[in-house]
């Protein structure tokens, strides 16, 4: 009020002494209040955390599957906030291609395929879990024989780790599903001659399931297997011997043979077969110690650079062995890798897929 009066004209027409100019605003007053700064920092940090969480959930980074819970949470938090999604797309290189002038951030085709695969893992697992084991094995065998880039080792695994009646049941299921026999498809679709002979012998085997072991026979066959591949007719004869032993002897009998071979030569039989005989190596590994073999297959799914088939093997092993020898697999995995199988799965998988795997593995 005093400032207003000081500015009024005096009775002689002059102006009263002008009031002093208002003080310049304090530098502190020109800045946003400290509370506003803190709120802005919190908002930016929260946004960054949400972006990181959503990026991890979408991409499946660091594991298999996607974080469905995180995705559903984002649907609620980012409702009616399209600018957040736009910022997310711009900050997600490799999956959303940068927008050209007047265009949009386009989702890359490779990412679409990747995301379909990651979301499908849980659905695939549940469907396989619900199937009869014979049908499940028949479908895996058919895929290995008819789809590109599916290794023949899947057939070796099915033939060498199933009980005699389980393998026979899978062959019957193959008849019913595909109107031809499993051995027929093996004979006509496996092009490598050596692999063809071995796989035919393995898938048609009906092994003795009892505990009896003939030590003398095991010693004789261990010595015969150590004779080396040779050449010409000798090589053919040796190959036939290997297939005959691996495809007909009981699993306890074969383990005795493998043990005696190691005693004779100081190395496992699988090392006898070079890079040109992967099916033979897989067969020996499966027959000698299925639990150890499955532990290695599971670990392969977690390795950096694992291909689609290696990752799919995780589902195959857990679903097929959860009611069979999972406890032995857990013990073998701990011994091989120095970590519990449940901890490795929890670390390397995501979402409902992870939860389903852990439920089937058990504590």
What angle (nearest 5°) sits at the alpha carbon of residue 106, between those of residues 104 and 107? Answer: 150
Whether 347 is in a domain gets the answer: no
* Final residue before a domain boundary, out of 179, 205, 231: 205
Residues 66, 92, single domain; the answer is yes
Lowest mean pLDDT among 217-221, 303-307, 327-331: 303-307
* Final residue before a domain boundary, out of 285, 314, 348: 285
Name the nearest CA neighbour of 353 among 66, 58, 56, 60. Answer: 66
Whether 38 is in a domain gets the answer: no
pTM of the predicted model as reported, rounded to 2 decimal places = 0.78
Number of domains in the chain: 4
Name the nearest CA neighbour of 119 among 71, 87, 54. Answer: 71
> What sign has the CA pseudo-torsion 286, 256, 238, 271?
positive
Q: List the CATH number of the domain containing 193.
A: 1.10.220.10
How high is the pLDDT of residue 169?
96
Residues 271, 220, single domain; the answer is yes
Q: Is the pLDDT of residue 12 over 50?
A: no
How high is the pLDDT of residue 261?
95
Please give the residue range of the domain that contains residue 72.
Answer: 46-130
Residues 6+ apart with CB under 8 A from 197: 239, 240, 243
Whether 174 is in a domain gets the answer: yes
Residues 271, 236, single domain; the answer is yes
Whether 14 is in a domain gets the answer: no
Residues 189, 229, single domain; the answer is no
Bigger pLDDT: 194 vs 213:
213
Residues 109, 61, single domain; the answer is yes
Q: Is the pLDDT of residue 299 over 80?
A: yes
Whether 11 is in a domain gets the answer: no
With cut-offs at 50, 70 and 90, classify the pLDDT of residue 320. very high
Task: Say if residues 15 and 9 touch (Cβ distance below 8 Å).
Answer: yes
Name the nearest CA neighbour of 342 among 324, 322, 323. Answer: 322
Q: What is the pLDDT of residues 32-91, one digit of tens each?
A: 556 777 676 666 666 677 777 777 666 655 578 877 777 777 777 777 778 877 777 777
Whether 143 is in a domain gets the answer: no
Most confident of 50-59, 172-181, 228-237: 172-181
Measured in degrees and rounded to the nearest 5, phi and psi for residue 106 equal -95, 135
Whether 13 is in a domain gets the answer: no
How high is the pLDDT of residue 24?
54
Mean per-residue pLDDT of the chain: 83
């Amino acid at each position: 009020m005093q400032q207003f009066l000081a500015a009024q004209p005096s009775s002689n027409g002059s102006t009263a002494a002008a009031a002093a100019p208002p003080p310049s605003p304090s530098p502190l007053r020109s800045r946003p209040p400290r509370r506003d700064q803190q709120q802005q920092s919190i908002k930016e940090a929260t946004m960054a955390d949400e972006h990181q969480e959503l990026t991890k959930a979408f991409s499946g980074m660091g594991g298999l599957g996607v974080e469905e819970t995180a995705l559903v949470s984002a649907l609620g938090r980012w409702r009616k906030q399209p600018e957040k999604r736009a910022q997310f797309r711009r900050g997600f290189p490799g999956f959303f291609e940068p927008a050209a002038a007047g265009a949009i951030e386009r989702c890359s085709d490779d990412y679409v395929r990747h995301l379909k695969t990651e979301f499908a893992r849980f659905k695939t697992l549940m469907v396989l879990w619900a199937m009869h084991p014979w049908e499940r094995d028949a479908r895996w065998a058919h895929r290995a024989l008819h789809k590109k880039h599916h290794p023949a080792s899947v057939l070796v695994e099915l033939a060498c780790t199933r009980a005699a009646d389980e393998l026979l049941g899978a062959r019957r299921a193959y008849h019913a599903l595909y109107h031809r026999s499993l051995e027929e498809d093996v004979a006509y679709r496996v092009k490598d001659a050596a692999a063809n002979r071995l796989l035919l012998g393995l898938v048609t085997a009906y092994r003795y399931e009892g505990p009896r072991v003939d030590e003398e026979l095991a010693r004789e066959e261990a010595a015969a297997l150590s004779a080396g591949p040779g050449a010409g007719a000798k090589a053919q004869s040796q190959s036939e011997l290997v297939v005959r032993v691996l495809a007909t002897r009981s699993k306890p009998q074969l383990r005795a043979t493998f043990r005696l071979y190691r005693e004779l030569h100081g190395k496992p039989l699988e090392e006898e077969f070079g890079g040109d005989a992967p099916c033979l190596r897989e067969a020996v590994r499966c027959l000698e110690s299925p639990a150890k073999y499955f532990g290695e297959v599971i670990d392969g799914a977690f390795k950096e650079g694992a291909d689609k088939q290696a990752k799919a093997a995780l589902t195959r092993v857990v679903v097929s062995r959860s009611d069979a020898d999972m406890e032995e697999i857990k013990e073998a995995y701990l011994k091989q890798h120095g970590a519990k199988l449940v901890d490795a799965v929890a670390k390397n998988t995501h979402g409902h897929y992870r939860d389903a795997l852990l439920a089937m593995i058990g504590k």
